[in-house]
Chains A and B, each alone.
Chain A
């Protein structure tokens, strides 16, 4: 681990979504903000095979540019977490091709040995089991900025990679165990209730500071983000970007946490209606699996 500055520094840039305009911005941010690393375990948000243009996952072009920039001075490994939902999600997002093009090694986090750590927060003890490489090696997190509807940025990306969970207690505990040496937040595409080609990047060496700084971009105050509370909810400025200006560019639509699926009360109402009329009940109101 490298020594951290007392006051986290955050640097932002506008950037293209691909090509030289992206790789140049990434290279600048790495040169300006990243600590000297001999090795780096790069962890993107690839929790589900959403198309990168939606902002729901990290743009693989950003990861590729970052791997190339880091590889100038470090041994870079691309850490690919298991998706809770879909087998081979990183592959569907193109990370095997990224590894082929950059020559970076890949590490399937789901196949790695694990270590158990106990984290105490406000007198509550929480045990987390994380892949050993995340505990032992310098981590570089590459989150996207999504609010679906809860904020997911650096700390959630790390927690989902480490524990497969984004529950607040797991995010807090995982962030206490896995402390990235460098964060490059990918805002080329964002999701704040709707996709947006936002064209920005934010770099920093402190994951909670990055999340506090970008929460307003997603329309949230840091104190509205439960997992941030144990790490402080004050906010650092982003050099080169103004969070409120970015927020004004983004859509801030309401995301249905059920993805449009009917709440149970609708099922109860429909079953009652069907009982009265003799109508038939659709499967979403009858319970059971979709297989």
Chain B
């Protein structure tokens, strides 16, 4: 299906915040190079040019038509993922898509169909599994250090499209349009959490879901989902858009209740991010003095995950292999979200009707 290439020429479709993370990440990946970027925002094109991108375009379709690229990174808002990914696949590009992979299952299937028809690979930027503390938990879990895990809980809560005080940045209209985003906190953050659970425990089944909003928002700002897994672990998934966040301090956790002990992701986070950043920077200075590559993005802590996710994808593309987090995985996470939405809607409707709500497999 996929051939080996000596250098992966990358087209960046979307050069905003996350697009810049991918652009920077590509600079640290041997055998890959961003040859062109597209963005409707002139300032973003200028920023990309300032970072060494040879050519920029306002319209990504022009980039795909003009440039000879092997892979495209789709770092556009969710409402453009399907359109851009299909266009990239039809142009013969392997495609790395930001999360959520698609707004709907139907969109996701269309993207995978286009990839199959054009014999290209699809990857998804599911990053939490790449965070250092989650990698450490995976290592310990895989080593059997806590035995079987009957229960787990995972959460990610932030301020969604809004700012912590004081108000200081306009919120783009599309961020508050569920037709553009595909949903609220569960779609935006829950896909990551489902991906981590599947990475640890195998196939997931959504057993219960409830979503709510603490204000009159057009989508949920809190979601609670219960899943069962192939490994027999039952897990709760909590996603929220309601809490002020001031990075690098973020709210998120993963907790595995094993028969021998408990693993908590917080135990493997830096105790103080400032001290961690300074220490990591000094380590990279030392590496440089010894002629070694730096540990990319290490002082930033969380951006390391984006780097490794993209590197895995581009390495796989370069080697002619299937990406480790592929489009099928991205689609499954969207399916879980959609199932949860349908289940939550049914639960809410039943409760509104005065029912004593119980969800079973029957």
Which of B20-28, B55-63, B229-237 is found at the contact surface with chain A? Answer: B20-28
Determine if B171 and A148 form an interchain contact, defined as CB atoms under 8 angstroms apart. no
Stretch at the interface among B131-139, B178-186, B282-290, B345-353: B282-290
Given contacts A85-B169, A291-B172, A280 and B297 within 8 Å (CB-CB): yes
In Å, the complex CA distance between A145 and B46 comes to 42
**Chain B positions within 8 Å of A92 at CB level:** 215-217
Residue in contact with B216 in the complex, picked from A47, A94, A270, CB distance below 8 Å:
A94
Q: Are B246 and A282 in contact (CB under 8 A)?
A: no
B44 at the A interface (CB under 8 A): yes
When the two chains form their complex, are residues B172 and A259 in contact, meaning their CB atoms are under 8 A apart?
Answer: no
B27: min CB distance to chain A, Å: 6
Q: Is the CB of A93 within 8 A of B215?
A: yes
A137 to B287, CA, bound (A): 69
Complex contact A283–B20 (CB within 8 A): yes
Q: Name which of B17, B171, B216, B281 has the most chain A CB atoms within 10 A of its CB.
A: B216
* Proximity bits, A197-239, B CB within 8 Å = 1, else 0: 0000000000000000000000000000000000000000000
Does B214 lie at the interface of the complex (its beta carbon under 8 Å from any beta carbon of A)?
yes
**Complex Cα spacing A149 to B16, Å:** 30
**Cβ-based interface call for A51 (8 A):** yes
Say yes or no for B163: interface residue by CB 8 A criterion: yes
Quick one: which of B160-205 are within 8 Å of A by CB?
162-173, 176
Which residues does chain B contribute within 8 Å of A96, judged by CB atoms?
216
Which stretch (B97-105, B299-307, B335-343) binds chain A? Answer: B299-307
A189 at the A/B interface (Cβ < 8 Å)?
no
Interface residues of A in 233-291 (CB under 8 A from B): 255-260, 270, 273, 276-283, 286-291
Q: Is the CB of A260 within 8 A of B24?
A: no
Instruction: Report A59 CB to chain B, min CB distance, Å.
Output: 13
Chain B residues, Cβ within 8 Å of A56: 165
- Whether A87 contacts B285 by the Cβ 8 Å rule is no
**Residues of the A chain whose Cβ atoms lie less than 8 Å from the Cβ of B246:** 256, 259-260
Q: Are A51 and B167 in contact (CB under 8 A)?
A: no
Which residue in A51, A87, A94, A291 is a CB contact (below 8 Å) of B16? Answer: A291
Q: Mark A144-178, 1 if CB is under 8 A from B, else 0.
A: 00101100000000000000000000000000000
**Residues of A close to B43: CB separation below 8 A:** 287-289
Q: Assuming A51-B214, A86-B176, is B27 touching A280 (CB within 8 A)?
A: yes
> Are B214 and A286 interface neighbours, CB within 8 A?
no
- Which residue from chain A places its CB closest to the CB of B213 in the assembled complex? A92
A contact residues around B51 at 8 Å (CB): 281, 286
Q: B296 contacts the other chain (Cβ, under 8 Å)?
A: yes
Does A191 reach chain B (CB closer than 8 Å)? Answer: yes
**Interface positions of B from 306 to 346, Cβ below 8 Å from A:** 307
Min CB distance B280 to A, Å, is 9
A288 touches B20 (CB 8 A): yes
Contact A277 B294 (CB under 8 A): yes
Provide the residues of chain B in CB contact with A146, threshold 8 Å. 165
- What is the CB-to-nearest-CB distance from B64 to chain A, in angstroms, rounded to a whole number? 20
Do A278 and B293 touch (CB < 8 A)? yes
Contact present for B44 and A84 (CB under 8 Å): no
Tell me if B41 counts as interface (CB < 8 A to partner A). Answer: yes
Residues of B within 8 A of A276 (CB): 285, 288
Q: Are B170 and A84 in contact (CB under 8 A)?
A: yes
Interface string of A77-102 (1 = CB under 8 A from B): 00000011111100111101100000
A106 within 8 A of B: no
Q: List 30 A-B contacts (CB under 8 A).
A: A48-B162, A48-B165, A49-B162, A50-B162, A51-B242, A56-B165, A85-B168, A85-B171, A92-B215, A92-B217, A93-B215, A148-B165, A191-B165, A255-B165, A259-B166, A277-B288, A278-B284, A278-B293, A279-B28, A280-B25, A282-B24, A282-B303, A283-B17, A288-B17, A288-B46, A289-B41, A290-B17, A291-B17, A291-B41, A291-B172
Closest 5 CB pairs of A and B: A260-B246, A288-B47, A48-B167, A283-B20, A280-B24
Interface of A with B (CB < 8 Å)?
47-51, 54, 56, 83-88, 91-94, 96-97, 146, 148-149, 191, 255-260, 270, 273, 276-283, 286-291
Question: Which residues of B does A touch, CB under 8 Å?
Answer: 15-18, 20-21, 24-25, 27-28, 41, 43-44, 46-47, 50-51, 77, 162-173, 176, 214-217, 242, 245-247, 249, 281, 284-285, 287-288, 293-300, 303, 307
